[in-house]
Amino acid sequence: MHASLRAVAEPHDEGAVADQRASFEDFFHAEHARLFRALCLVTGSRQEAEEVAQEAFLKLWERWDRVSGLEDSTAYLYRTAMNAFRSRYRSKMRALKRAVVVAPATDDAFAAIEDRDIVIRALRELIPQQRAAIVLTALLGYSSEEAGQMLGIKASTVRALSTRARTTMRERVGEAT
């Protein structure tokens, strides 16, 4: 049997691929700035925020055929970003064994960036976990349950973290004003 040979085809539906890409690009432009800003507050670093945002968007892009069908792809984006944020901090911990200085973290980039804003200054006082909780709830308006899902913790823990963060920030803001 001799088959009539034909060149291997590209994926059949090029139009669908183009639509997917356009759809994702729209999503990116609609969501990037907001996510980036939130991550700046959470991570304390513009560079870190952009890295996390890129990582999250890339993951969504690779799964866009499924993610775009989700009821709330924005929540999925933030959840992916928060996972990336957590993973990156876990990675940082690898170097921990070499740490010898008993002192508060010195790599908090808040020290190197916007230092004038009272809220940003107050956020510096918080542990990143608290920052994430309060940014998700206070800035982005997610419920404790939703934020808990994004952070992989219980809603009650989110509430506790937010409350603690709020208390600290209130004190700092109060002092400053």
Partner 1 sequence: VIDERELFERAAGRFDPPTDAWDRLHRRRDRKRRNQRVAAGALSLALVAAGLGVVISVLRDADRPLPGGGSNQVVRPEIVGPCFEGDPCFDTDIYRIRVDGSEFARLGTDPARDIAFSVSADDARIAFHRVEGDSASTSTADIYTMTFDGTDVRRLTDDPAIDGFPAFSPDGTQIAFASGRAGTFDIFVMNADGTDVVRVTEFQNDGLDDLHPTWSPDGTRIAFIRGLAPPGKAGRLWVMDADGSDGHVLLDEPLVGFPAWSPDGTRIAFQMELASETRIGVLELATGNVLDLGPGALPRWSPDSSRLAISDVGGGIEIIDLADESRTFIAGSGDAPVWSPDGRWIVFNDAGLTAGGKDAAKPVLQAPSPGEAIAGFTESGIPFLVVRHSDGTLTAVEAVSPHLATGDVRKLLGWCVSSRTFDDKFHGARFDEFGRYVSGPSPSGLVPLSVEVVTGEPPTFRLGDRLPALPRDGSGQMPTGPLCMDLEATPLVAPDIAESGLTPEELAASSPTIGSRWSIEGTLLVSPGGEAWLCASYVDDICEAGAPVTGPIVEGEDELVVEGTWFVIVQDGQLVDPIRAA
Which residue in this structure is represented by tokens 């009272």? 118
88 in Cβ contact with 71 (< 8 Å)? no
Is residue 141 involved in binding partner 1 (CB under 8 A)?
Answer: yes
Binder among 19, 26, 72, 117 for partner 1 (CB under 8 A): 117
Q: Structure tokens of 22?
A: 């356009």
Is residue 57 involved in binding partner 1 (CB under 8 A)?
Answer: yes
Is residue 5 involved in binding partner 1 (CB under 8 A)?
Answer: yes
58 in Cβ contact with 64 (< 8 Å)? no
Supply the minimum distance, in Å, between the C-beta of residue 92 and partner 1.
7
Supply the minimum distance, in Å, between the C-beta of residue 145 and partner 1.
13
**81 vs 161, beta carbon nearer partner 1:** 161
Q: What is the CA radius of gyration of the chain?
A: 21
Binder among 77, 78, 86, 165 for partner 1 (CB under 8 A): 86
Is residue 142 involved in binding partner 1 (CB under 8 A)?
Answer: no
Is residue 81 involved in binding partner 1 (CB under 8 A)?
Answer: no
Is residue 161 involved in binding partner 1 (CB under 8 A)?
Answer: yes
SS (H, E, C) 126-169: CCHHHHHHHHHHHHCCCCHHHHHHHHCCCHHHHHHHHHHHHHHH
Supply the minimum distance, in Å, between the C-beta of residue 171 and partner 1.
12
Backbone angles phi, psi at 4, to 5 degrees: -75, 120
